Every structure is written in structure tokens, then in C-alpha cells.
Amino acid sequence: MKYLHLIWAALFRRKSRTFLTLVSILAAFLLFGMLDAVRTAFTSGGDSVMGVNRLVVSSRYSIIQSLPASLENRIRSIPGVESVARTNWFGGIYQDPKNFVLSFAVSDDYLDIYKEIELPADQRKAYDNTRTGAIVGAALAKRYGWKVGDKIPLQSTIFPRKNGDKTWPFDIVGIYTPAKGAANGTDQSFIFHWTYFDEANAFTKGTVGWYIVKLTNAKDSDRVASAIDALSANSDHETKSQSEQQFNASFAKQLGNIGLIVGAIMGAVFFTLILLTANTMAQAVRERTSELAVLKTIGFSSTSVLTMVLAEAIFLLLLGGMLGLALATVLVPIVSHGSGGMLQLPPIGPGTWAYGIGLMVLIGALVGALPAVRAMRLNIIDALAGR
Amino acid sequence: MKTFRKFLFGLGMLAVVALFLVVWIALPWQGVAGLVVVVALWMLLTRRGRQTASVTRVGLSTLRDRIGSSSVVVIGIAGVVGVLVAMLAMSEGFSATLQSAGNDRSAIVLRGGSQAELNSVMDRDSANVVMEAPGVRKDAQGKPLASAELVVVANLPRKGEPGSDANVPIRGVSTAVWGLRDQVQIVEGRKFTPGMHELIVGTGARHQFEGLDVGKEIRLAGQRWTVVGVFRSGDVLESELWGDTQTVASAYRRGSSVQSVTVMLDSPAAFDAFKAALVGDPRIKVDVSTTKEYFSKQSEGLTKVLRIVGLVVGTIMAIGAVFGALNTMFSAIAARGREIATLRAIGFRGTPVVMSVMLETMLLALLGGLVGAGVVWFAFNGYTASTLGANFSQVVFQFRVSPELLWMGVKWALAIGFIGGLFPAVRAARLPVTTALREL
């Protein structure tokens, strides 16, 4: 720490060069922050710790095939199952086909299973008592300016009502907030009564898109999953039970390998960055050869010279990288907002920061290593003589 | 006063850069070729030009000593161009795969407000109304050239990843489909026999999923189906499995209902009359669009997202690369400071010095652009990827690294080179000769 002013002085010995390098590092970490937000947006569905004791039971053959409602009681009777909720995909749009609304018809157990949906008690009561009641996530409500008490029409792209009309009326009776630790995007859903859906829709009767099963103990998940699948083996509605994490992960995978694409871009970015800063550091040390020799002459040990050069590189990376990540932290919500809900990027959290700072230190050490070793091995007499 | 002039000068430089970028983006390749010819002629024919050529040659000959820092420019720019071209190739490949499935001569009819086939339902009577509508082409026997179709989604294991299922679309088609979708060719095996549990698979689907070779059996809706053929169409249909409409419908308990009707029109001009007749028909409530419209609309969203992501990422990387190039060229100028000052002392003017530094940077940039675009072309042209499409199932598409994209990448590289070279070049030319000569 006591050498800090020395490192600082060395860093800004050539202001323009340091500035140019800093901007490059800034650009790289700005990209890192934004791309990591994209990656999290696509994969964090499986990261919710609250999902560990939940199973998703869906049709084995196809997501568009539904399951009979009669299966519910048979699943409940399996030991290890705490409760079961019915869920149907609604495919809602609001006013314009562009305004897609993530909407589900769910049975009442759903809200008890999903503890991460936090709804005030009076709103929960109102929901239970209103047939056409719906609760919406805070972010979704904000997007369309919905308030408790609003009557809104939602169009289903799939299900017409009995009169052939595809517009379904709903009463918004509650606005929920996601609990701490909930998966990203939890506050984007529109949830309403399965009974309303089942009674009013023209085609399907007594069918369930998928069941959510809550286990008493997460350790039982494999056993219970195979017991549930055994219920319908060899019937025309065979099921596939998987943990919520597996289900989300396999869904995210179908969108395409986002992780791979993001990883490839970041690889290209950081490879270039390493080359660029390594070049800067090599130049900086080469220019200062005689200064370093003087430092050694007046008694700085080889190790402290090594540490100083290494610290300089890491410092350079940290300075540019932190600025870049800070810029990304500011920009990501703006991008999210500007896309009109098309792209829901999570804000940059401590995880990304920790990962980013780790990368900065690593890259700094990497690019500083060679010049630092050269500085350490410097022969005082040769260096001072300019040989 | 001095700072003010400095400020004005800086402002002027920025204006030059902005003007250059605007002109450069708008410039077609003929313009660029013309520019290259003009510069080449200038270097051959005029005195200043010949001076420039010789200074550039000196600069390039010292390049070997600066190989490390020069490669920063090349690789930095190669990275930018590579990422940009790869993202845009993905976007172009996806939209081409969907769009080539559509044309003006055929139309698709869905239930009103459905947006995608998967959401649509039509009963047999409505489907018949559509097929008998005016403007539908008839075959030699006088039957309408139309296919009433059904799309269901099945779970199949992905190739090479046991236990990881993905959605594959299964399309039930009528026999008229062979005349209607004439781009479809059987490349292996034979067509399915109507009424049998037989399927043909698209080449894209076969590539993506396990066990879809001719002769293999797969289980769908609890029944056994045999794969009897493989077809190629060069578009989005390749991602699908096809069977007979009635057989698929009965396996999935759809009764006699279908999801969409695709018809061949008498001519593209007949579309308006066809649409008007169906929209005006009180018995049915349908959406009518040409297949071209239908498929372009499906490709719109993702194509746009990929394009925007590619351009944003490319721009941010380009900013990083510009500063990297500036850094390299400033230090190159600093290293050659005395040499340049000597040249100016013996009578070389500013222009050759500026031009030679610019030329050197842009040559490095060109090299970087070619490397980046070349690597992407080798690695990704024709690379097969897949994502979820409008029917909630996998769409297989190929990256398409078109000549236009390669050209665009090279243009970006040269623009980065221009900006990265301009400032160091101007500094080199403006440095007072006496100061520079005295500098060690």
C-alpha cells in the first residue's frame, strides 16, 4: 500500500497512452456487463433456490398435449407429495399482438406453493372471492399501467370462450411482488383462476397443461417423479416429471445455446483486450527500464519491483473495468426499459460484479506477469548503461 | 487564445471523422473502388504522391520491428469484424430460412387472430370453404391445389445429448402438397403412404434429433411410426416431420379439424380477390395472407433482435479497437519521431507524412478485417443452429455469411483504421521539426 503513489505516478507517466488503454478496457467490461445480463436473463429461471422442492409434471410426448384433471388426486396420494397445483398456458395478448402477456390459469394451491409470490392478505382474499379475478406482477402492472380495481380485456391466441369470442374479461384484484431470491422475471406474470378458464373456454374441459407438485422433502424428488410417471405409464397421456430446474434448463436450451454465443463473443473481446493491455504494459516497462534500475539501485528489492509492475497492470484493469461495469449497471435498465418489455434484462447484481472483478484481477496479473518478471530480472548495471 | 485554437482544431477533427463516417456508410463498393483508383493514380503520377509512396514504404519496412504492437491493431479489428459478421450471418440465415418458404403465388389461411399455425383451429367445413374459394388453382383433374394441414409438437431426444428433449413440429399434409410446395424434394427413401403410420423427415430435423433415419421407428402420441423418407426444401420446412393429415389428426385426437389451409393461387394477382371472398364470407372467420407475408412476419422479431445485438456489440467493440489502434499508432509515430522530422527537414511536406501514416494504419486494418471475416466465413458459413420458432418448436437454420456481409465487415475495418490513423498522422505532421529532432 505504501507504494501506491509510485504505482499511480507510473500509471499516469504517459497520460494519453493510459487514457487510450483505459477506454479499451472500459469498452470490454461494458460489453461484459451487458452480455452477462443477457446470459442471466436467459438462464436464471433455473437458479431460484425456492424451486428445489418443486416438480413439473407435463405430457411426455408434447408440450401441446394436456393431461386430465383427474390425475391430480392420484398424484396427491403419492407419499412425499405435499400439494399439487394445476396450470394452463393462456397465451394472452393485451390490445395489440405485440403486447404479449405471460399468462397462466392456475388452481388455488398454486399461490400456496409459490411462496415467492408475495400478495397482501386483503388482495389474496379478494382474489379468492372473485371468479374473474386476476393478480399481476408489479413489473407487468407497471408496463401497462394497470391498477387494482381495473377491468381489463385479455385476448387469448389459443382459447376462445364459449360464445366464440377470444377476448376474456378480467378484474385485477391484486398486484404481487417477488420475494427475495425469486427467479428473474417472476414479477412478469398474469395469474388467474383455473376454474374460470375451465368453465368458460369453448374447447377443452377438465384438462391441465402441466401440474406443479410440491414435495415435503426435496431429497425425494427422483423417487416421487418416477412414481408419478408410473401412474400414467402406457396410457394415452404418459407424463414426464422433472424438477423445476431441469424443466427451465431444457426450455432455455431450446431457445438456442445463448451461453455459447455469449461466451464466444466474450472470448473474442477478452482475447483482444489481453493482447492490447499486454502490449501497453510491455511498452510502459520498456520505457522505464532506467527508472526501474534506479529504484533497484536505491534499495528496492527485486520482489517489490515485481509487485509494483504487477500491481500497476491490475490497477489499470480495475480502473477501466470498474468504470465499464458501472456504465453497464447504468445502461442495462435503460436498455431494458427502451425495448418496451421485449428484452427483460435483470439489473447487474453483486454476482456479475464479483465475477467481473475476478476477471479484471486475473487479466491484470496475466498481462502484467511478463513485464513484471522482466523488471525483476533487470540487471542494474546493464539497465543503467542503456544496454 | 492558444487553448481556444486547440479546441477549435479538435472540433474540426471530430467533424472530419463524423463526415467521413457518414459518407463511408453510404458509399457503395463502386465508390470505394473509385477512391482506391484515385489514390493509386495520385501516388503514381504526382510528386506529392510519389513522396507518399516512398514514405509509406519506409514505414512498412520498419513494421517488422513493431510486430507486437501492430498485431494488436490487426487482431483487435479482426475481433470486431468477426463478431459483427457472425451475428449478422446468424440473423440473415434465420430470416432467409423462413422467408424462402414463402412466395406470392400461394396463400395460407388461419383462424382469425391466430398468428401461428399452432394456435389455430379450423373445422373441415371451413377448410372446404377455403379450398373452393375463387382464385385457387385447380389441377388436371379439376381438384383444388390446396393442402389442409395440422401441426402438432412432439418431444424427441436431441442428437448427442441423451435425456435432453426438444420440441419438433410434426405436420400433417394433404396429397396436393407435392404440387403446392414444389421446392420439396425427397432425397432418400420415398414419400409416405396416406393412411399408414409413416413419416418423412426434413434434413434439418434429422440433423438435430436422434433416430430419424430411414427405416427407424419412433413413438409419437403412444403409437409407432416409421420413417420412410428424407426430404430437402432449403427452407424452414426442413425442420419438420411430415405425415398424412388424417393419420396425424387421428393419432392426436383432432377429429376432422385442421389448423391451416395452404392454397396455390391462379396468379399473385388473384390474391386480393381470394382474400376478399374469404373475409366477406359470413360462415368463417379467418386470417388470410400470402405465404410470403406469413413467413416474413414470423422471422421479423428474432432477426431484428439479432441485428441490433450484433450492431451494438460491434459498435462497442469497435470503440475499443479504435482506441487500441490509436495507442499503437501514437507509439509508432513516437518511435519514428526523428525519422519523420528528418524527412520534413529535408523538404517533405505534411501531406505525404499524413497520408503514409493513414495508409499504413488502413493496411493493417484491412488485414484485420480480412482475417476476421475470413475466419468467420471458414468457421461459420453453413454452420447449423436451431432455436424456438413461432410454432413453439425447433427451427433449424444455417448461418449465412454472404458476400455483402463480408464487404460490410471490411468496410467497418477500414473505418476503424481511418479513425485510428487520422489523429496520430496529424500529430506527426504538426510536430515542430526542431523539437522532434532534438528528442531522443
Tell me: do B154 and B259 sit in the same domain: yes
Q: Are A384 and A297 in contact (CB under 8 A)?
A: yes
Asked if A268 reaches chain B (Cβ–Cβ under 8 Å), the answer is: yes
3-state secondary structure of B150: strand
Tell me: do B181 and B41 sit in the same domain: no
3-state secondary structure of B347: coil
Q: Are A232 and A238 in contact (CB under 8 A)?
A: yes
DSSP string, B244-262: EHHHHHHHTT-TT-BSEEE
Q: Are A27 and B316 in contact (CB under 8 A)?
A: yes
Domain membership of residue B11 (yes or no) is no
β-pairing verdict for A189-193 and A100-106: parallel
Q: Closest to A254 (Cβ–Cβ): which among B86, B305, B388?
A: B388
Tell me: do B280 and B303 sit in the same domain: no
Mean pLDDT per 10-residue interval, chain A, length 387 residues: 80 84 90 85 60 83 80 90 90 82 89 87 91 90 89 87 85 88 77 90 82 87 87 81 80 72 83 82 83 87 88 92 93 75 73 92 91 86 78
B115, A158: Cβ pair inside 8 Å? no
Q: Are B155 and B299 in contact (CB under 8 A)?
A: no
pLDDT at B403: 92
Tell me: do B134 and B252 sit in the same domain: yes
Instruction: Label each residue of chain A as H, E or C.
Output: CCCHHHHHHHHCCCHHHHHHHHHHHHHHHHHHHHHHHHHHHHHHHHHCHHHCCEEEEEECCCCCCCEECCHHHHHHCCCCEEEEEEEEECCEECCCCCCEEEEEEECCHHHHHCCCEECCHHHHHHHHHCCCEEEEEHHHHHHHCCCCCCEEEEEECCCCECCCCCEEEEEEEEEEEECCCCCCCHHHEEEEEHHHHHHHECCCCCEECEEEEEECCHHHHHHHHHHHHHHCCCCCCCEEEEEHHHHHHHHHHHCCCHHHHHHHHHHHHHHHHHHHHHHHHHHHHHHCHHHHHHHHHCCCCHHHHHHHHHHHHHHHHHHHHHHHHHHHHHHHHHHHHHCCCCCCCCCCCHHHHHHHHHHHHHHHHHHHHHHHHHHHHCCHHHHHHCC
Tell me: do B118 and B37 sit in the same domain: no
For chain B, the maximum distance between any two Cα atoms, rounded to a whole number of angstroms, is 96
3-state secondary structure of B163: coil
| Optimal mutation site among B165, B257, B298, interface A, most CBs of chain A within 10 A | B165
Residue in the structure block whose three cell numbers are 497520460: A15
Residues in chain A: 387
The Cα B146–Cα B135 span in angstroms is: 12
Q: Closest to A60 (Cβ–Cβ): which among B113, B155, B328?
A: B155
Between B350-380 and B291-335, two packed helices, what is the crossing angle to 10 degrees? 140
Q: Closest to B331 (Cβ–Cβ): which among A265, A275, A283?
A: A283
Q: Are A371 and A285 in contact (CB under 8 A)?
A: yes
A61, B154: Cβ pair inside 8 Å? yes
Domain membership of residue B358 (yes or no) is yes
Q: What's the gap in Å between the CA of B388 and the closest CA on chain A?
A: 5
How many other C-beta atoms are found inside a 10 Å radius of the C-beta of residue A99? Answer: 15
Tell me: do B393 and B270 sit in the same domain: no
Q: Which residues of chain B have pLDDT under 50?
A: none
pLDDT at B365: 94
- Give the total number of structural domains in chain B: 2
Query: Which pTM does this prediction carry?
Result: 0.83
Tell me: do B319 and B424 sit in the same domain: yes
Give the helix/strand (H/E) hosting B321. Answer: helix B291-335
Backbone phi and psi for residue B95, each to the nearest 5 degrees, phi listed first: -70, -35
pLDDT at B261: 92
Say how far residue B329 (Cα) sits from the centre of its chain: 33
The Cα A136–Cα A122 span in angstroms is: 15
Chain B environment of A255 (Cβ under 8 Å): 387-388
DSSP letter at B193 equals: P
Amino acid residing at B32: V
Tell me: do B259 and B378 sit in the same domain: no
Domain limit, last residue, from B284, B312, B329: B284
Where b means 16+ CB within 10 Å and e means fewer, A52-75 reads ebbbbbbbbbbbbbbbebebbeeb
Asked if A386 reaches chain B (Cβ–Cβ under 8 Å), the answer is: no
Where b means 16+ CB within 10 Å and e means fewer, B148-162 reads bbbbbbbbbebeeee
CA-wise closest residue to A339 among B92, B310, B301: B301
The Cα A140–Cα A190 span in angstroms is: 8
* Nine-digit cell string for A387: 544496454
A27, B323: Cβ pair inside 8 Å? yes
pLDDT at A173: 93
Domain interval for residue B402:
24-99+299-438
Amino acid residing at A130: T
pLDDT at B416: 93
Domain membership of residue B16 (yes or no) is no
Tens-place pLDDT, residues B140-175: 888 889 999 988 888 888 887 766 778 888 999 998
For chain A, the maximum distance between any two Cα atoms, rounded to a whole number of angstroms, is 96
A91, B319: Cβ pair inside 8 Å? no
Tell me: do B373 and B255 sit in the same domain: no
* Nine-digit cell string for A191: 395469474
Domain membership of residue B292 (yes or no) is no
Q: Are B312 and B397 in contact (CB under 8 A)?
A: no
Domain parsing of chain A, residue ranges = 4-45+257-385, 61-237
Amino acid residing at B421: G
Q: What's the gap in Å between the CA of B196 and the closest CA on chain A?
A: 19
Tell me: do B77 and B124 sit in the same domain: no
Tell me: do B84 and B36 sit in the same domain: yes
Give the helix/strand (H/E) hosting B385. Answer: strand B384-388
Q: What's the gap in Å between the CA of A26 and the closest CA on chain B?
A: 8
Tell me: do B130 and B247 sit in the same domain: yes
Residue in the structure block whose three cell numbers are 422442492: A53
B79, A280: Cβ pair inside 8 Å? no
pLDDT at B163: 67
* Nine-digit cell string for B135: 382464385
CA-wise closest residue to A94 among A188, A195, A202, A194: A188
A282, B68: Cβ pair inside 8 Å? yes
Domain limit, last residue, from B254, B284, B314: B284
